[in-house]
Structure formats: C-alpha cells, structure tokens
C-alpha cells in the first residue's frame, strides 16, 4: 500500500523521538490524534474530485501540525531533562565535597565517577543521555549520603569501644567487629551496601550499650545512665527502619527497673 509522504514523515519523527528517549506516555497525545486521523475515510466522489482533493489537503495539513507539535515536544523534553541533569550533578558535587572534607579515601571512586559524568553531560544532546546522567548522579548522591551516616556510626562504635576499654570491660569481640565494619565500609559502593552496613553497626552499638549497662558497677552510674539513653534512642531509630527491636527491648526493660538500685550500690562504694 502506498502511504503519502506526510504520513511517512510523521512516523519517522515518532521513531526518532522514541529513539532519543522521549517517554511513550508523552507521545500518546500525538499518536492518538494520528490514529483518529487514520480512522477517517475519503469521501465517495462520483461527479467531482473536489471533495477528495479537499479531504487529502486537510489530511496533509493535520499531519504537518502533528509534526510541528512533536518537534516542540522534543525541544521541551530535551530542555527539561538537561536542566534536571545539571541540578542532579550539582547535588552530586555538593555531597561529594562534604565527604572529601572528611578526608574519606573511599570518596575517590565517586570523584572519578563525577568527572566521567561531567564529560558525558558536556557531550549530551538527547533526553536519554540526560536521563542516564541524572539517574547515575542520584544513585551517587544517595550512596555518598549514606556513606556519611555509616562513617558517623563507625565513629560512635569506636568511641563506645574506647569507653568500655577504659572501664576494664573485655572488648575483644567488639574490636573485631569494628575492624570487619571498616573493611565493609571501604568496599561499599552502592546505597544498598551502606544501608546494610548502617543497620549492622546500629545493631552492634545496641549490643555494646547493653554490655555497658550490664557493667554499670564498673562503668559508672553516670556513664551507665547515658548508655541507657543512647540504647533507647538507638531502639527508636531502628524502629523507624522497621527493624526487629524485640530482643533489645526485652533486655532494656529489666535494666531500667533495676538501674536505681545499681546507682545506689555504686554510690555506696565511695
């Protein structure tokens, strides 16, 4: 079947739009209009060709209008995706700078990724390229943000271990966990890696706080009370991530009940 040039032209433009990354959902308005036009039929002409001439002339104009509309849509989507890519790269740059200010050598791989994405952004022309850069930048921002959280938790675990050591509490297992966590931190690359590490360290911090509370006579009543507060806060934080806190809650409740007697015993030893 022979198709007029204006139909072939619009179909070519639609194929190009899909190829450069225009979402199909945004093309539906144009494709529906085309389907409606195609569903019409030329008038039956017996005595004059003019109705058919008018019909096909109108058909050509409508296809040309759709072609103009599609070109405008391409320009709009390209501009919007480019603008979003620049915003996402700015967020990437900001959070990367924060990790670099902390002198985290683990941020180097993200610095290389940022440089690569910058080069891609400078050469990008089409929505699919901008969308790829945005997605890459957003993943990096999420990972770097969680890297900061994991680093803070590592510092807290190290501080707790030092406190326990100073109070003559055996921290052999805790020190090994701390070393293992550091290896995981250095190997982490994705938001999922850092999320799992944060969950692991939070569980270890809760165990360490329980250990400190159980050794209140050695740890000191004041420090023990602080550890109780930290454990309660950690349990609340874990609840926000829908974690299972039942074990820690069961261990916390009897300690809360007996803490006043422990504090009194501790004071009486002076």
| pLDDT tens digits, one per residue of 99-158 | 999 999 999 999 999 999 999 999 999 999 999 999 999 999 999 999 999 999 999 999
Closest CA to 106 of 192, 183, 176: 183
Range of the domain at 153: 142-268
* Residue 167 pLDDT: 76
* pLDDT score, position 263: 45
Q: If DSSP codes are grouped into helix, strand and coil, which group holds residue 115?
A: helix
CA gap 185, 169 in Å, rounded? 26
Report residues of the chain scoring pLDDT below 70: 1-3, 42-43, 45-48, 214-270
- Within a domain: 202: yes
Q: Is the residue at 46 inside a domain? A: no
In angstroms, rounded to a whole number, what is the distance separating the alpha carbons of residues 32 and 34?
Answer: 5
- Give how many domains the chain has, as a whole number: 1
253 inside domain: yes
């Amino acid at each position: 079947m022979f198709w007029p040039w204006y139909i072939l032209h619009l179909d070519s433009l639609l194929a190009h739009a899909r190829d450069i990354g225009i979402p199909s959902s945004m093309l539906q308005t144009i494709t529906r209009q085309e389907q409606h036009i195609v569903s019409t039929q030329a008038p039956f002409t017996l005595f004059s060709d003019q109705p058919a001439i008018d019909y096909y002339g109108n058909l050509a104009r409508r296809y040309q209008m759709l072609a103009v509309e599609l070109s405008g849509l391409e320009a709009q989507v390209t501009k919007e995706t480019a603008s979003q890519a620049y915003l996402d790269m700015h967020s990437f740059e900001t959070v990367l700078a924060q990790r670099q200010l902390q002198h985290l050598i683990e941020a180097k791989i993200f610095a290389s990724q940022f440089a690569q994405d910058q080069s891609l952004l400078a050469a990008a022309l089409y929505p699919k390229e901008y969308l790829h850069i945005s997605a890459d930048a957003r993943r990096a921002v999420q990972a770097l943000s969680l890297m900061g959280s994991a680093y803070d938790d590592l510092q807290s675990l190290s501080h707790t271990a030092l406190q326990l050591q100073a109070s003559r509490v055996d921290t052999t297992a805790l020190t090994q966990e701390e070393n293992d966590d550091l290896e995981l931190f250095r190997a982490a690359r994705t938001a999922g890696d850092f999320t799992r590490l944060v969950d692991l360290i939070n569980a270890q911090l809760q165990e360490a706080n329980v250990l400190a509370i159980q050794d209140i006579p050695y740890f000191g009543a004041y420090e023990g009370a602080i550890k109780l507060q930290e454990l309660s806060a950690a349990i609340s934080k874990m609840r926000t991530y829908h974690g299972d806190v039942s074990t820690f809650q069961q261990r916390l409740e009897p300690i809360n009940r007996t803490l006043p007697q422990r504090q009194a015993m501790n004071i009486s030893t002076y």
